Chain A
Amino acid sequence: MRVLVTGMGGELGTRVAQLLETRPEVDEIAGFDFMPPRRRLRRATFKRIDPRDRDRLIGFVTDFAPHAVAHFGVYEPGSRMGPREAAASTEACTVNALGAAQRAGHLGRIAVRSGLEVYGRGRGHPLVPDEEAPLAPTTPYGRTCLEVESLALGIGRRHDVPVGALRYAVVAGSHIPSPLGRVLRLPAVPVPALADPPFSLLHQDDAARAMVEMLVQGFEGPLNVVGPGASSPWQAVRLGNRIPIPVVGFGWELAAEVAELAGAPIPPHVVELLRHGRCGDGARAVAELDLGSLRPTQEVLVDLYEWATVLRLEPTRRVA
């Protein structure tokens, strides 16, 4: 099986490529992104292509003629790009890569990255949506994720290709760049003054494992992938020994401006998470993809705060 990994330069794309390299049923792996992978890949081929460079992207995908696509070219605003650039790159990557993969003639399955943001949050939205919950995103990133799912489904329906969508909780970990992670690591963190809504996290390794299993098994349909348990803004901030700054109403816009100056932009879907929470029912993914135990949200949170811990290793013997 030849597998194309879009967005291979990101932490998740690279990790998926590494896991695919260990699978005997995968013969060839190729991927592209606007930046190179940060980890060593042994079998996979990487090409540095900006997702908006349509001709180069289509040429690369057509030459590779994949049997399966792991679509990680879904760029979260505030992660490595600004909101507009992220939305434009995601759309270009989805349309061009999936379209070219289908036209190459061997495509047998598609798995796309999506997020719990597709369910929306706030009044009138379920607290812990399962896969049957109505799709009603309330943020630009949620709408982008839903658009990616719709585009992939459209291609899948027209050409009889099974499409799976992984609706991730916020993916976090020690070294994954995420806007929520950056905000929580600030010395002072904005939190809702009059509420403390729950949110769940997902460890980057579990997110990558879920994608590999979905791709190898050819699962069709959406699955929520969520770390067990939850945290809340106040609890997370105190756990990280940060200072909570209570915010209400329009104060969130000011908080976002200040945080951006401090190097941690807070895009609307992260503001929504802090104000209204974000959880999901991930039981079906664990059962269908046989994922075993996922790392609990609280462990992911600890991992997030321990990212900068310096371990001083004493030499076992002195050589000079």
Chain B
Amino acid sequence: MTVPVPNYGLDTDRILATDSLPAALRRRLRGQYAVDEFGADPHLMDLSAGLAPLPVTVEHGEYVPQVGPALLVANRGLGFLEPLAVVRAVRVACGRRTRVVGAPEVPVLGDALRKLGAIGYRPDDVAALLRAGNVAAAPLAPTWFRSGPGEPPRALLVATLGFPVLPVAIQPGFPFGRPGRPWRVRFGEPLFPPAGTGADDQLAAAELAAEVQTRVQALLEDRS
């Protein structure tokens, strides 16, 4: 018996060529699309990506790994469009999908966001996502007036200790910035805890959290 290729040629991590709309609809009707363990539907993610085009300029996209896990920690203001900006920036930088951390655990909306690649805020789920080799984007605490980076996600950093952490600075464009200006996403160098750090090392995680916050602040202040 011949068995079709698992996941029907759709990579859950890397964006590939997309179907035409009729082909995509046929694929949906036949059930020939991928689903991953965290509830994401990459086919749907690709189909919906064009619905919210957000212009972004990416700086230092080379820091985002081409393969393997990474936790991106970014600043946010209101928090609605920043995740979208990071997703688009990673897509531009290396063609990978990004899993946004922070989907609300409510029916319907939470399920819909998980289909589009988001994941809840449970540290063990985020750790499992990174173990599976994904890129995840977690926000710093919101700063309503964009007064700088908010508090880092310490619980997440404890659970994900050992995976590379990339500080990311986001400067808003339209509609929160000047009209016509694109969103600016700057990636910082990956950070790791000191060699020999054990799992669940609270001190190392706290130091890493402080370092991430400092680096995001520096990236935000760097106007070059």
Contacts and interface: CB of A to CB of B under 8 A. Distances in A.
Given A126-B122, A127-B119, A279-B37, A196 B111 contact: yes
Interface residues of B, number: 33
Interface string A225-241: 00011111011111111
Contact of A240 (B7, B31, B34, B129): B31
A298 interface: yes
A302 B37 contact: no
Interface residues of A, number: 38
B51 interface: no
A238 B115 contact: no
Main secondary structure of the interface of A (DSSP, over half): loop
B17 interface: no
A48 to B, nearest CB: 33
A195 interface: yes
Interface in A191-222: 194-198, 200
A35 interface: no
A229 B36 contact: yes
Given A123-B105, A194-B108, A200 B29 contact: no
A254 interface: no
Nearest to B110: A195
B8 interface: yes
Given A127-B119, A239-B32, A198 B6 contact: no
Given A194-B107, A306-B1, A229 B122 contact: no
Contacts of A195: 107-108, 111
Interface in B1-51: 1, 3-4, 6-8, 28-39, 41
Interface of B: 1, 3-4, 6-8, 28-39, 41, 105, 107-108, 111, 115, 119-120, 122, 124-125, 128-129, 131-132
